[in-house]
Amino acid sequence: MYTKITRSGGRQYLQLVEGYRNEEGKVRHRVVANLGRLEDLNPAKLDPLINGLNRAIGRSDNTAFPVEIESSKAYGNVFALHELWKDLGLDRALGRAMRSGRRKIEADALVRAMVFNRLCDPMSKLGCLRWLDTVAMPEMPAKVEHHHLLRAMDALMDNVDRVEAELARQIRPLVDRDLTVVFYDLTTVRIHGEGEVDDDIRAYGMNKETGGIARQFVLGVVQTAEGLPLMHTVHPGNVAETKTLQAMLATVLKRFPIERVILVADRGLLSLDNIDALTSLAEQGGRTLEFILAVPARRYSDLVETFRDMAFDETGLAEDRFAGHRLIVAHDP
C-alpha cells in the first residue's frame, strides 16, 4: 500500500491506495481509504494513524523515533587550499623531489595534509590525525596512521635540498625580477630534555629569548620584502651567526635571479672577517658586494683613534675610512 494525492475540482485529496493483480495478472490499484483534503491534514490528525500502524508491526510510536545527528566533514577550507596548492605547482614540485620507487607511503600527500593542518588548525602529529578525521581532504590515502606522518617527515628531510630547489623554481614567477630586497634573520629555539642522537644539532649557546645559556638550535629564515618566504636554514645551537651568512647567500644566489647584492646587518650577523669571502662569492656572478655594517669592529676601543680626528658637520655626521672601508658616523650628543 502507498499514499496517493489526487485532484478534483481544484482541490487535492490524500488517499490510501492498494496495488494488486487482477485475474488476468495485470497490475491494478484500488482506493482503500480517503484521508481527506490535503490542506486540512496536519500531524495531529495523521500521527494517531501512523502510530497505530507502527504498533501493529511492533514499532515505537512515530513521536518517539530516536534522532541521530552525525557531523559532516569540513570541506571548504581544505578545498580552497588544495586548489591553491595545485595552482602554485607545489604538488608537482613535491612529487618530483620526493619520487621514490622504494617508498610505500604517499609522502607528498601526507606532507600536504600536515601543511594544511598548520594553516587551518595547528596541532602536533597526533593532533593532525584527529583533525584529518574532521575534514574531507582531497586525494588522501585511505588510511593514515601516526607512523605514516613520521615517515613522511623523514622522507622530506632525506630530500630537503631537492624539495627546496623545486619549490624555489615554482615560486620564481612570484618574485620580482631583480629580487631587490631580501631579509634574513636568525632566532634561537630552546629545547627541553636531555636526550641525544647522532649528529645532534641541539647544543648549548646564548639564547635570544632568555639572554642566558640554553640548549637550543638556531633557525634562519629568508624572505622577500613582501613577506614571501624563500628558504630556511637550521644550524647547531652554538653556531656563530656570522658563519651562517655565507652558506645562506650562496644558496639564494644559486636559486634566485639576483643582480645586486647589498647586505645590511649588525655586528652579530656581518663582520669584517667574512666580508672578503662574501665579496668573492658575489663576484662569481659578475656582481659587486655592497654592504652597510653596524659597528665594524670587535671592540669599540678599536675605533678610538678614528673617532678622535673626525670632524662632524652641523647635522652630527662625519665620514672617514676604517679597515679599508668607508665609515659614516652619526653623532647624537
Q: What is the pLDDT along the chain (333 residues), one digit of tens a residue?
A: 888 888 888 889 888 899 888 888 888 888 888 888 888 888 888 888 888 888 888 877 666 556 777 778 888 999 999 999 999 888 888 888 887 656 667 888 999 999 999 999 999 999 999 999 999 998 898 889 999 999 999 998 888 888 888 888 887 777 766 666 778 888 999 998 888 888 899 999 999 889 899 999 999 988 887 888 888 889 999 988 878 888 888 888 888 777 777 888 776 677 777 777 788 887 877 777 788 877 655 666 777 888 888 888 988 899 988 878 888 888 777
Sign of CA dihedral 306, 308, 310, 316: positive
Separation CA 324–CA 72 (nearest Å): 69
Domain coordinates of the chain in residue numbers? 2-64, 76-165, 176-296
Is 3.40.50 the CATH number for 176-296?
no
b/e code 186-214 from CB counts within 10 Å (16+ = b): bebeebeeeeeeeeeebbebebeeeeeeb
Starting at the edge strand found earlier in the chain, the sheet holding 2-8 runs: 2-8, 11-21, 27-37
Separation CA 18–CA 30 (nearest Å): 5
Q: What is the dihedral of CA 59, 60, 61, 63, to 10 degrees?
A: -130
Q: Helix 160-171 and helix 241-255: axis angle, to 10°?
A: 60
Separation CA 103–CA 204 (nearest Å): 36
Secondary structure class of 259 (helix, strand, coil) = coil
Full-model pTM: 0.60
Separation CA 247–CA 291 (nearest Å): 17
